[in-house]
Amino acid sequence: MTTTTKQTQQNYLVPFIIMVVLMALVGLITNLNQQFQAPMKAAYLLLGGANADTLATSLNFAFFLAYLVMGPASANYIGKKGYKPALLLGLSILCISFLIYMSSAWVFDNVDINKFQGFIDEARGIEDLTKQEGIAPGDALQAAQTQAALTGNFQVQEVNGEYNGLLYTKGMVIPVAYWVFLLGSFVAGTALTYLQAVINPYIVACDVKGTTGVQRQSIAGTGNSLMTTLGPIFVAYVIFSGKDGLDISLNSLYIPFLVLLVLVAALAFSLTKIHLPEVAGGGGKSEHLRESVWSFSHLKLGLIALFCYVGVEVCVGANVVLFAQGDLGFALKDAALMASLYWGGLLVGRFASSFLNKVSAQLQLLVAASGAILLIVLAMITKIPWFLCGVGIFHSIMWPAIFALAIDGLGRYTSKASGVLMMGCFGGALFPVIQGILKSAIGSWNPTWLFVVLGELFILYYAISGHKVKKTDTGVTTEM
């Protein structure tokens, strides 16, 4: 028997490594989609007018909308077909999303270009005036404003007396390529809906000698956080080679996404040849429960808290780039560094959280929400976006803390409750696009961080009061 156990553990080492790679891939794709906001805005939304930021943040809306729309479908597929077929389907859908992303660049060059080329040339001519050597920034800015006034198509934007982009003044013209890119985001989100539903159970089930399920999840989580940290740098320096503004071309997507497509296809093929452990729940019948999972108040409030958490996490991680560029005049590469530092904070925080086993989830969440609120308010007051980088450390422990509090005492309902809580990922769709709409209405990113603070305040409420268990699986009511 001992020999058989060791053999099983040895056999599952390779599947476990593949699952860690897949978890890292999930982190990379999620972050890539967020970091495409600024480059996609520069490449496709030159004529987006005052709604350009709202349209850019719609990438996150499309991506996380898939979790809400396709979540039930993925759960049903797992129940009927099992975990491995769902894993392979998710990887296949991901490959399709890569093709759609790449096709958006082709569509722009072959369908949209005739409508946009004249405006692109005009915008470049205006922008070139701001880059003249030997001319004072103020004089260069005035020259650009004079040139823009000749047609009235563009208004020169400035921050602290320096050039900060162009605003199209004659309505809004959206290229077909933008909608193709948006479709790619939704399809990528669909793929990750399937992948995330199966990877975590497999990580726990893939026994590896000398590890526990929690340790294996920690290892996989570290891989995920590492790739979210590297994602902004990958977008700014690898895909777009440090370019900014009108110099950006989404033709740069071809080679990186072809490489990713080949790697994912190779992973999918290898999985067809590898034996994976059985995971309970795939294709099986669920236990009949007499009460609704929605009868637990701390679960319902926990869902809202997770909704707010995913929303504020994505707002900071994605919109700090647009905030730093649009309001404060930072270059894309510098703004991307802020995003990397933010996601790096999540990585550091998850490492540090392994030493907090004796600290209750409630106290961890209380401190995390308070710290996040403080740093966001400081960033608003001082207009120093670097404060937002530190929010990542506090966000790093929110998901596990909220999740643990939300399923406390649920017993047989835990499995269904876990599925319910995944709906909270939809916060990543709504929060960023609402913040983008607010920016378009107000004209500045700085006040919109108050909306993010509201999300943090609900998380703080959940830590203080909302998490309290009023009913458990046994029907026992606890004291508040």
| Bridge partners, 162 (sequence order) | 159
Helix pair 398-406, 414-421: axis angle to 10 deg: 140
The answer on 300 and 271 residing in a single domain is: no
The answer on 222 and 147 residing in a single domain is: yes
Q: What was the pLDDT predicted at 212?
A: 64
The answer on 338 and 190 residing in a single domain is: no
Which domain, by its residues, includes 157? 10-279
4 in a domain, yes or no?
A: no
- With a threshold of 0.85, does the pTM exceed it? no
The answer on 378 and 253 residing in a single domain is: no
pLDDT digits (tens, 9 = 90+) for 7-18: 444 568 888 889
The answer on 438 and 351 residing in a single domain is: yes
284 in a domain, yes or no?
A: no
Residue closest to 37 by CA, chosen among 454, 455, 313, 335: 335
pLDDT digits (tens, 9 = 90+) for 282-325: 555 555 667 777 888 888 999 999 999 999 998 998 889 889 98
1 in a domain, yes or no?
A: no
135 in a domain, yes or no?
A: yes
CB 222 within 8 A of CB 350: yes
The answer on 144 and 111 residing in a single domain is: yes
5 in a domain, yes or no?
A: no
Q: Average the pLDDT over 131-140 and give the result.
A: 79
Q: What is the full DSSP assignment across 428-444?
A: HHHHHHHHHHHHHHHS-
SS3 16: helix
286 in a domain, yes or no?
A: no
Q: What was the pLDDT predicted at 191?
A: 95
The answer on 181 and 37 residing in a single domain is: yes
| Bridge partners, 166 (sequence order) | 156
Number of domains in the chain: 2
323 in a domain, yes or no?
A: yes
Tell me, what CATH number does 411's domain have? 1.20.1250.20
The answer on 298 and 212 residing in a single domain is: no
The answer on 331 and 184 residing in a single domain is: no
Q: How far apart are the C-alpha atoms of 325 and 195, rounded to whole Å?
A: 33
Q: How far apart are the C-alpha atoms of 455 and 309, rounded to whole Å?
A: 7
CA dist 191 → 24, 25, 29, 63, 101 (Å): 14, 11, 10, 10, 14
Q: Average the pLDDT over 209-238 and give the result.
A: 76
Say how many C-beta atoms besides its own lie within 10 A of residue 379's C-beta.
23
Instruction: Encode 38-65: b = buried (16+ Cβ within 10 Å), e = exposed.
Output: bbbbbbbbbbbbebbbbbbbbbbbbbbb
Q: Which of 184-193, 246-255, 358-367 has the lowest mean pLDDT?
A: 246-255
pLDDT digits (tens, 9 = 90+) for 18-75: 999 998 999 889 888 877 887 888 888 888 888 888 888 888 889 989 988 888 788 7
What integer best gives the mean pLDDT of the chain? 84
The answer on 316 and 197 residing in a single domain is: no
pLDDT at 349 over 90: no
71 in a domain, yes or no?
A: yes
Residue closest to 166 by CA, chosen among 157, 174, 177: 157
pLDDT digits (tens, 9 = 90+) for 99-132: 999 999 899 989 998 998 999 899 889 888 888 7
Q: What was the pLDDT predicted at 415?
A: 64
Token pair of 245 as six digits: 């503004």
